[in-house]
Amino acid sequence: MARKKNRMSTEVNAGSMADIAFLLLIFFLVTTTIASDKGILNVLPPKQDPNVPPPDIKKNERNIYTILVNANDDLLVEGEYRDNADGLDKDVKAFVLNFGAPDEEAAALYNSLPASLQAEAKRDPASSDHPAEAVVSIKTNRGTSYEKYLEVLDLVKKAYFDIYATRANLTTDEYRALAGKDDAEQALIDKGKEGIAMQISIAEPDKIGGN
């Protein structure tokens, strides 16, 4: 008996190691939630001092692109009714790049744009003077759904990012992925943005139709 024991193999059986590792692997696969910190960035305006009246900004009506969204999620874009937001990005792009009455600086900006963006300039006197003046205003209602609001904001951002990306010679997705990690990336970001700031005004919602 004793002899037999001595001759027994002392190696640990490692064949089931893979199975154990598989079990652990499956546990982590199931519990993993890959954190997604993606979203639409927005910077809120600074808080208003109640003692100081809001600044009286005189701006020509033609330089403001108004988008109203009511409690039924219907849109009123520049006074025209729309029941969906499709194509809004193209209209905003056309509005920003209108160059209706450019001053010297804006004319220089216009000349620096690539040909495909120059072609967008319709020079309509009823639309924005030049990109530095153009403001997109989004006004919602307290009853507007968040989903619709985000859809509209998304499309307006898309219009701007399209312009930036074309200037930086990238696709829109590539431009948005730029993070400014090094000087080269930062230079590309600046190249896209230069002279055309993203001017989106989000008005306080109406009290009607909500809670």
Partner 1 sequence: MGKFGNKQKAEVSIPTSALPDIIFMLLFFFMVTTVLREQELLVEQKIPQATQLQKLQKKTLISYLFIGKPKNTSLYGTEPRIQANDVLVTTNEIVQWVNQERDALPEADRGGITISMKVDKDVKMGPISDVQTELREADARRVLYASVGKVVKD
Q: Which residues bind partner 1 (CB under 8 A)?
A: 14, 17-18, 21-22, 24-25, 28-29, 31-47, 140-147, 149-151, 153-154, 157-158, 161, 176-177, 179, 181, 204-205, 210-211
* Least distance from partner 1 to the Cβ atom of residue 172, Å: 8
Name the strand (E) or helix (H) holding 185.
Answer: helix 183-193
Of residues 60 and 186, the one with the C-beta less far from partner 1: 186
Residues 6+ apart with CB under 8 A from 62: 100, 125, 126, 127, 128, 129
* Least distance from partner 1 to the Cβ atom of residue 202, Å: 9
Residue written as token pair 């809120």: 44
Q: Identify any residues that bridge with 138 across adjacent strands, giving them in sequence order.
A: 67, 202
Of residues 42 and 112, the one with the C-beta less far from partner 1: 42
189 vs 196: CA distance, rounded Å:
12
Look up residue 19 and give its two tokens: 């199975």
Instruction: From 181, 191, 131, 194, select the one nearest 159 (Cα to Cα).
Output: 131
Of residues 43 and 57, the one with the C-beta less far from partner 1: 43
* Least distance from partner 1 to the Cβ atom of residue 37, Å: 6
Residues 6+ apart with CB under 8 A from 181: none
**What is the chain's alpha carbon radius of gyration, rounded to the nearest angstrom?**
28
Of residues 1 and 40, the one with the C-beta less far from partner 1: 40
Of residues 97 and 200, the one with the C-beta less far from partner 1: 200
* Least distance from partner 1 to the Cβ atom of residue 173, Å: 9
* Least distance from partner 1 to the Cβ atom of residue 154, Å: 4
